[in-house]
Structure 1
Amino acid sequence: MGRLEGKVAIVTGSTSGIGIGIARLFVREGATVVVCGRRKERGEQVVAEITADGGTASYHYLDLTDLDTVKALIDDTATEYGKLDILVNNAANVGLADGSVEELTLEMWDAIFASDLRGTFYAIKCALPHMKAAGGGSIVNIGSMASCGGDLGATAYTCAKAGVDMLTSSVALQYGKDNIRCNCVRPGLIVTPQNEDIVPQMLRDIFISNIEVNRYGNPEDIGHACVYLASDEAEFVTGQVFNVDGGMNPHAPTVAQFRAAGSRTW
């Protein structure tokens, strides 16, 4: 406990799912957390739950596609608390229409990039001056295992998340000498209170047959990784992309089929 004591953190998209898990763990470790998202009522409920447990948090409206709200979030946080130490870029709109290259319109492509890459870029851009003024900081981008390869239908999403990987590297390179670190966490299948009733069993079966541990991920799994990367324990860690996916990505894609066949080799 206390690994983030005295630090001020923004966790975007923290009114549901992974974002709530990150925010709660940050507070437990001593951080003051700004909860943000489009759903004010839900955001205020999260803040009430955190403060009832003795933590310090506040809510700020954020619509990642409205860049004025992005800048207001960053600037208002730095003004209210006197600094900004940690920025977790978790927010993304997962409900946007996607498709194959032939199916995608430019409008669909642009909407996903605005949500999943442009908003992250702009939040970092707005945060950098405040982190420089504070003598440093930690930026944690939430990517996706979708950036590891092509996809049958989520073309724009995979490309946007691959962009998050490279944005992470660029920020780490350009601002490391300012004591600003930037890393990325790629979640695997994370079952949250908000999605557990809508994740199809077929999808769960596909994932569990390829995951190298005996369960699906949960928001706290991502939160623990973010706590480490945000803390001073990781002061020599920057520009890295961490897979938190139960070991799904580091093996051959045929592992589930070989297991079913009782084979251990090619």
Structure 2
Amino acid sequence: MDRLKEKVSLITGAGSGIGRAAARLMSAQGALVAVADRDQSAVQETARLIDAAGGRSLAMTVDVMDEDSVADMVSATIREFGRLDVLCNHVGGTNPRVDLDLLRLDMAEFDRAVALNVRSTLLGSRYALPHMIQAGGGSIINTASVAGLVGDVLQISYGAVKAAVINLTKSIAVQYGPYRVRCNAVAPGAVVTPALLANLPQDVVDDLRRTNALPYLGSPEDIGHTMVFLASDESRYLTGQLLVVDGGMTIQSPAAPGRRTMLPPGG
């Protein structure tokens, strides 16, 4: 229970879903946790859950697309805990109702997606890095997506910006590795979060489950455990990497699920 003992973690998008799960799991492993989200009541609930379990937290509201807000978030973390060891740039996403195919894409949504996913990751890292360097090292964990690895019929912005997050991760790792700062990314597949359930029809969710190599979809905790590993010293020799946590969604031929019916009985 002490994999992150006395480490200070800052997690954006911690008001629900994966961000909340990561915050609670890191606290359970001994971290002091700063949690940030644009939804004040949601992030305060995350902090309450951490504190009720015996942890120590700091709840903040943040607009990750605003540079001053990001700078204030990092400064508040340093004031409260005195250092910063782990940063999870978790905020991201697009509006799937207007992030469509190329000809029908709302260009304002594309610009917002760049700011929400790429610029926010860059800003969070930019303001955290000096403190990590001063502390003798640290771990930056960026949330990408399997959407950044494959093409799709919808959400062209989301795929493009998550691909950019993957490349940004590699560049940060190369540039600041000499200072013992590691930077890695996690690419979740289909994870049962409030956002997924709100944005996808049930038949699409069922299809995602069918096309996984594993017979189930992920939970927020599945991604949170991966983030704990990347935050801990267990991953001290891992940097610039993308960990794809998708239940096998992207490893198999599109024909594989249907071809299972061709197997003889009892296989």
TM-score category, normalised to shorter length: over 0.9
Aligned to 2:164, the other structure's residue is in SS state helix
Greater mean alpha carbon deviation, residues 250-259 or residues 84-93: 250-259
Aligned to 1:60, the other structure's residue is in SS state strand
* Correspondence for 1:212: 213
Give the TM-score, by structure 2 length.
0.94
* Correspondence for 2:150: 149
Greater mean alpha carbon deviation, residues 67-76 or residues 254-263: 254-263
Q: CA deviation at 1:208?
A: 1.6
* Correspondence for 2:112: 111
- Report the AA paired with residue 190 of structure 1: V
Give the TM-score, by structure 1 length.
0.94
Aligned to 2:204, the other structure's residue is in SS state helix
- Report the AA paired with residue 193 of structure 2: T
- Report the AA paired with residue 137 of structure 1: G
Q: CA deviation at 1:196?
A: 4.3
Trace 1:14-25 onto structure 2 (pairs within 5 A).
14-25=14-25
Quote the Cα distance in structure 1 between the aligned partners of 2:212 and 2:161. 24
1:51-96 per-position Cα deviation (integer Å, ceiling 9, x unaligned): 0110111101111222211111112212221110000011114436
Trace 1:113-262 onto structure 2 (pairs within 5 A).
113-192=114-193, 195-196=196-197, 199-262=200-263
* Correspondence for 2:38: 38
Q: CA deviation at 1:35?
A: 1.1
Q: CA deviation at 1:151?
A: 1.5
Identity of aligned residues (%): 39
- Report the AA paired with residue 119 of structure 2: R
Aligned to 1:247, the other structure's residue is in SS state coil
Structure 1 residue ranges, 4+ long, deviating more than 6 angstroms after superposition = none
Aligned to 1:33, the other structure's residue is in SS state strand
Quote the Cα distance in structure 2 between the aligned partners of 1:200 and 1:9. 35
- Report the AA paired with residue 42 of structure 2: R
Count of residue pairs the alignment pairs up? 263
Q: Any stretches of 5+ residues in structure 1 without a counterpart?
A: none
1:187-224 per-position Cα deviation (integer Å, ceiling 9, x unaligned): 01110356547643212221122212221100110011
Q: CA deviation at 1:119?
A: 0.7
Quote the Cα distance in structure 2 between the aligned partners of 1:258 and 1:91. 37
Quote the Cα distance in structure 2 between the aligned partners of 1:86 and 1:226. 10
Quote the Cα distance in structure 2 between the aligned partners of 1:105 and 1:144. 21
Say if 1:117 and 1:163, in contact at 8 Å, map to a contact too.
yes
Say if 1:16 and 1:194, in contact at 8 Å, map to a contact too.
no
Trace 1:58-69 onto structure 2 (pairs within 5 A).
58-69=58-69
* Correspondence for 1:55: 55
Say if 2:15 and 2:36, in contact at 8 Å, map to a contact too.
yes
Quote the Cα distance in structure 2 between the aligned partners of 1:92 and 1:195. 13
Say if 2:190 and 2:217, in contact at 8 Å, map to a contact too.
yes
- Superposition CA RMSD, Å: 1.6
Q: Any stretches of 5+ residues in structure 2 without a counterpart?
A: none
- Report the AA paired with residue 37 of structure 1: D
